[in-house]
Structure 1
């Protein structure tokens, strides 16, 4: 278990501080964690119930950067962790020290329902069509403004007004890299959270 997951399971040391960012709307139950500007719309194998859940950033107190992002499904503390995998991935086939995760090339990670990630891609195509020569990129024409409202640390993009579907984005630790996510389980073996570890606590 990584140092970060140990801290989240028993946070008495006070290295991290939580900040609730935004509620995220889940309709399909199929969760995606990815760099939102790359938009890998490949959901995890495990599904969750539809609903609204808080997204929590875990800040490293001394370095003032986001060490982890958590999709909080319950107030119960996790006592066991499993690496989140996509269909076809098997953690038993990983070499020691290897992980399944997602690449970050823009300094951002996110959580979103797979339908929200799909709509984010649709928004980019629509902006490109509507703005024509004024279109630069999804980041320059939309996401930059959303993040600037929160000191470039995080933001929530509404991708469907009717359903409230949104993608919650956050800065990814030291920036670009390759990051794993983990399901947290309580004493009754219920899933209580999904956490992406940005490798700030090595």
Structure 2
């Protein structure tokens, strides 16, 4: 199986970059302490390279309903979609690489620099209930993260059933029997996976930083609150800079 480093779930709290606008409107959460890497989505490839950050333009994720699932696709594929929706469409996913691993994953919905950032939540989650040092995010137990539309889960289940029908006496593992070949084409780091050929709906799958853990997702919004970007921070870098690896807390 893929090479990954196992770590206990942890929350990395970073000092905010002075030029990164943040939202402090939610009581109980200082989002500037949750990530200092919001600038990643505003820098060009050349600027990121100067900071020792590699950029991987994966291609577009097809959001057929606009309900985005950010999760470990193997450990929790049926995780609920984020509470905020976007218009259905095809949106580009960019991976930010440092120290040979994926430091963050972004999705773009419109051009422009976000005016402020908010923590992405699931329906029923309320940031006002968070205590100091707490944050919402998703758990990783298979060393992977993803972006996909909530409707794509049905295609994953359809593919799994198809493989099972071809191997009726075998125990089917979606990674080994389906996903591994896509990931292997990119050294196991990422894949734009289409569960069912000919059907709209795919999954952007990528390494999750150092591996297993607990990772927050953030919305980059314009001044009117419209989503411009989504960012998953894997706690690998600080201040959008890959020249020095942060110390593990």
TM-score by length of 2: 0.74
Secondary structure at 1:20 match in 2? strand
Paired with 1:75 and 1:19, the residues of 2 have a C-alpha distance of 18
Structure with the larger strand share:
1
What is the deviation of 1:151?
Answer: 0.8
Residue 118 to residue 199, structure 1, CA distance change in 2 (3 Å) = farther
Larger Rg: 2
Paired with 2:140 and 2:154, the residues of 1 have a C-alpha distance of 18
RMSD: 1.9
Aligned to 2:165: 129
Tell me if the contact between 1:179 and 1:198 (Cα under 8 Å) persists in the aligned partners. yes
Secondary structure at 1:155 match in 2? strand
Q: What is the CA deviation profile of residues 46-104 of structure 1, one whole-angstrom value per residue up to 9, with x for unaligned ones?
A: 000111111100112xx121111111112212231111111100011111121111111
Tell me if the contact between 2:146 and 2:206 (Cα under 8 Å) persists in the aligned partners. yes
Q: 2:108 aligns with which of 60, 72, 88?
A: 72
- Residue pairs, 1:51-200, within 5 angstroms: 51-60=89-98, 63-200=99-236
Aligned to 1:4: 37
Aligned to 1:26: 63
Paired with 2:101 and 2:115, the residues of 1 have a C-alpha distance of 25
What is the deviation of 1:196?
Answer: 0.8
What is the deviation of 1:29?
Answer: 0.8
Structure with the larger helix share:
1
* Structure 1, unaligned runs of 5 or more: none
Q: 1:17 aligns with which of 31, 54, 60?
A: 54
Q: What is the CA deviation profile of residues 157-200 of structure 1, one whole-angstrom value per residue up to 9, with x for unaligned ones?
A: 21344442101100000000111111101344321111111111
Aligned residues: 200
Residue 23 to residue 10, structure 1, CA distance change in 2 (3 Å) = closer
Tell me if the contact between 1:182 and 1:195 (Cα under 8 Å) persists in the aligned partners. yes
* Structure 2, unaligned runs of 5 or more: 1-31, 239-249
Residue 103 to residue 6, structure 1, CA distance change in 2 (3 Å) = same
Paired with 1:168 and 1:37, the residues of 2 have a C-alpha distance of 13
What is the deviation of 1:135?
Answer: 4.2
Secondary structure at 2:92 match in 1? strand
